[in-house]
Amino acid sequence: MDIDLELAPKRKRAAGTPCCEPVVYPDVERVRAERMAAVAKALGDPIRLQLVDVLRKHAGKVCVCELTPLFDVGQPTVSHHLKVLRQAGIVDSERQGLWAYYYVLPDALAEFSGWLGGTRSEERAT
Amino acid sequence: MDIDLELAPKRKRAAGTPCCEPVVYPDVERVRAERMAAVAKALGDPIRLQLVDVLRKHAGKVCVCELTPLFDVGQPTVSHHLKVLRQAGIVDSERQGLWAYYYVLPDALAEFSGWLGGTRSEERAT
DNA sequence: TCTATTGATCGATGGACATCGATCTGGAAC
DNA sequence: GTTCCAGATCGATGTCCATCGATCAATAGA
């Protein structure tokens, strides 16, 4: 019930007729989807999501030595996850002597967040 | 520069002393992170993200026969992606005769969207 | 009943990913 | 220099994932 008639199969349909014409999307939509999916993928691991969470909680820059003991994985694994986040453009780092400090890049999550938050397509900017 | 002193290593440090005490997070944070990461992971594929996008654009329910031709993958693959989205609790489906109609579950993305949108931890509800 | 259609499922395959231990790099203390 | 430490990288390993062709179940028309 409550089917959107616009998208219901166009005819009462004799078996064999294609049910509807394909809706073609402009290429830019696909590129945008790939960009946002890359961000979502990077956030699609509990450790990485928590890393971003911690970095956002502390608006400043956080030492890796503070991040590592938060998780039940080894240091190389945390380093790996931070690298994934950096490659996704979500965080960046800065070295200070022996230590490395990570921070969230502002606006890195803006596009994805905007898409997620918007309930209707009309609200989106191109 | 601009290091958050709260999180900088606590002492001037003789090499060998641990640089800082671990910050322990309550278990609920980890569970919440796993829940949100699961949603992010489901959205971490361009096809799935576009599927959700199309379903949200058309507030009603959309026939699978309308979704399949949108992508350069076979019908089993689209069906697989829809299943992943359904298992993540993001969409659900309903059969009408031969056709299956998919729709976005309201509030499925709310928690993740709220976390993503909030800039500071204080804005978050538990 | 027979046949055509939709959409889900199965099994296989190739590639990506999370994790680990070991190692490397380059600073800092002695 | 030598030694120690923080953090990144490497190589290996086991697991998960995206995709495909083939097939199946359910339904509707003939």
Question: Mind listing the pLDDT tens digit for each residue in A79-104?
Answer: 999 999 999 999 999 999 899 999 99
Binary contact (A41, B40; C-beta < 8 A): yes
Q: What is the mean pLDDT of residues A57-79?
A: 92
Q: Is residue A10 part of a domain?
A: no
Place of tokens 């956002």: A56
Is B1 part of a structural domain of the chain? no
- Estimate to the nearest angstrom the gap between the alpha carbon of A106 and the chain centroid: 14
- At residue A122, the pLDDT reads 42
Query: How far is the alpha carbon of A23 from chain B, nearest alpha carbon, in Å?
Result: 6
Specify the pLDDT at position A109.
94
Report how many domains make up chain B.
1
Q: Average pLDDT of chain B?
A: 80
In terms of Cα–Cα distance, which of B10, B13, B8 is closest to A58?
Answer: B8
Nearest residue, CA→C1' of D3: B15
Q: Is residue A38 part of a domain?
A: yes
**Contact assessment for residue A57 and residue B121, using Cβ atoms and an 8 Å cutoff:** yes
Does residue B36 lie in a domain region? yes
Confirm whether B51 is domain-assigned: yes
Gap between the Cα atoms of A46 and A15, Å rounded: 47
Among the listed residues A118, A119, A116, A108, the one whose alpha carbon sits nearest the alpha carbon of residue A48: A108
For chain B, state the CA radius of gyration. Answer: 21
Q: Could you report the per-residue pLDDT of B105-116, keeping only the tens digit for each? A: 989 999 999 999
Which protein residues have Cβ within 7 A of any strand D atom? A 12-15, 63-65, 68, 75-76, 79-80, 82-83, 93, 98-100; B 15-16, 18-19, 41, 44-45, 47, 72-77, 80-81, 84, 97-98
Q: What is the pLDDT of residue B60?
A: 78
Boundaries of domain holding B116: 27-123
Which tokens is A119 given?
Answer: 């309930």
Would residue B34 count as lying in a domain? yes
- pLDDT at residue B23, rounded to an integer: 58
Q: Is A33 within a domain?
A: yes
CATH of the domain at A55: 1.10.10.10
CA-based nearest residue in chain B for residue A96: B1
In angstroms, rounded to a whole number, what is the distance separating the alpha carbons of residues B38 and A29?
24
In a domain, B13, yes or no: no
- Its pTM stands at 0.82
Our measurement of CA B12 to C1' D6, in angstroms, reads 15
Mean pLDDT in residue range B53-82? 93
In angstroms, what separates the C-alpha of A70 from chain B's closest C-alpha?
Answer: 6
